[in-house]
Structure 1
Amino acid sequence: MRHLLLAGWIVAWAVLAWLSWTPTALPGGVSDKTVHFVVYLLMSGITFSFARSHAMLALIALTTFALSAVLEFGQSFFPYRQFDYGDLLANGGGAATGWLLASLILLVAARPARRPRVSARSS
C-alpha cells in the first residue's frame, strides 16, 4: 500500500509541475500565496502515509521545498510565468507546516494504545 501511495505522490508532482508551468487563473478573491502554502502543505503533509520515520519525513519536507524551488525557478523560462520569492516563501511555509503535521501524526500513530486501568476491589 505504501508503494501505491508513494506512486500517487509522484504523479501529484507531475501534475503540480504541469500546473506550475502553464497559465492558470485562480478564482476571484483567492490569494496565490494561500494556494502555494496549501498545496505544499499537502505535498509535505500527506507523506506520513508512506514515510517510515521522522528522519524520512524531514528529508521529504526538504525535498518538497527543493522541488518547489526548481518549479518556481523553471517558471522564469516561460513568457507567461515568472519567478516569485513570495511564492517560494509560501511554498517553504507550507512544506514546513506539512512536515510538522505529518510528524505529529506519525508520533501519535507510533504510540501504543493505552488500556484503561482496572482497579482491584476488595470485599
Structure 2
Amino acid sequence: MLHLIDKRRLRYWNVWFVVGCLLISSVVWGSLMAPSDAPSLISNDKVMHALAYAVIALWWLQLVRGRVSGLSVVVATVLLGVGVEIAQSFHPLRHFDYWDMLANLIGALCAAGLAALGANRGLYRLERHLLGHR
C-alpha cells in the first residue's frame, strides 16, 4: 500500500486537511456562482485562476509525501479545474473555457515547482513557530 499521506511531520494534519477542503470548496463555489459585478482584488481572470489553483496544489502538496503522491496532487488539481469548467458549461451565466483550464494547469505546475524548491514546508514551519520550536 502506498503511504501518500504524511501525518508524521504535521501535528495538526487533520486541521490542515479541513482547511484544504475549505479551499477547494470555496474555489468550486466561487466558480459556479453567478458572476457578480462586485470589484475583485485581481482583475485578470486568468491570473485569478492560476493563483487559486496554485494555492490549492501547494496546500495539498504539504499534506502528502513522495514524488508519486505529489504528482497525484498536481493531476487531481488539474482534474478539479477541468471538472469545474465542465460544470460551468451547464450554468446559464457561465461558460466552458479552455484558457481557464490552461491557467489552472499553469497554477498547479507553478505550485509543483515551488514545492520542489522547498515551499511545501510552510505548514511545518508554521507549526514549529506556533509551538515554540525553532
Instruction: Note the residue ranges of structure 1 that are not aligned, 5 or more in a row.
Output: 110-123
Letter in 1 for 2:65: R
Taking the TM superposition and a 5 Å limit, the aligned residue runs for 1:28-67 are 30-67=43-80
CA distance in 2, matches of 1:18, 1:52: 28
Q: Distance in 2 between matches of 1:107 and 1:75?
A: 31
Structure ranking higher in helix proportion? 1
Q: Would you say 1:75 and 2:75 are equivalent positions? A: no
Q: Name the counterpart of 1:86.
A: 99
**In the alignment, which residue of structure 2 is the partner of 1:19?**
30
Listed as ranges, the gaps of 5+ residues in structure 2 are 1-11, 123-134
Q: Which amino acid aligns with 1:8?
A: V
Number of equivalenced pairs: 109
Match of 1:2 among 3, 13, 33: 13
SS at match of 1:77: coil
Provide the TM-score with structure 1 as the length reference.
Answer: 0.78
- State the identity as a percent: 25
CA distance in 2, matches of 1:30, 1:107: 27
Match of residue 119 from structure 1: none
Cα drift, residue 58 of structure 1: 1.1
- Seen in structure 2, the aligned counterparts of structure 1 residues 82 and 100 have a Cα distance that, compared at 3 Å, is same
What corresponds to 1:120 in structure 2? none
Are the counterparts in 2 of residues 72 and 88 from structure 1 also a CA contact under 8 Å? yes
Q: CA RMSD in A?
A: 2.3
Kindly indicate whether the alpha-carbon contact (under 8 Å) linking 1:48 and 1:103 is maintained by their aligned counterparts in 2.
Answer: no
User: Shift of the alpha carbon at 1:93?
Assistant: 0.5
2:54 match: secondary structure: helix
In the alignment, which residue of structure 1 is the partner of 2:125? none
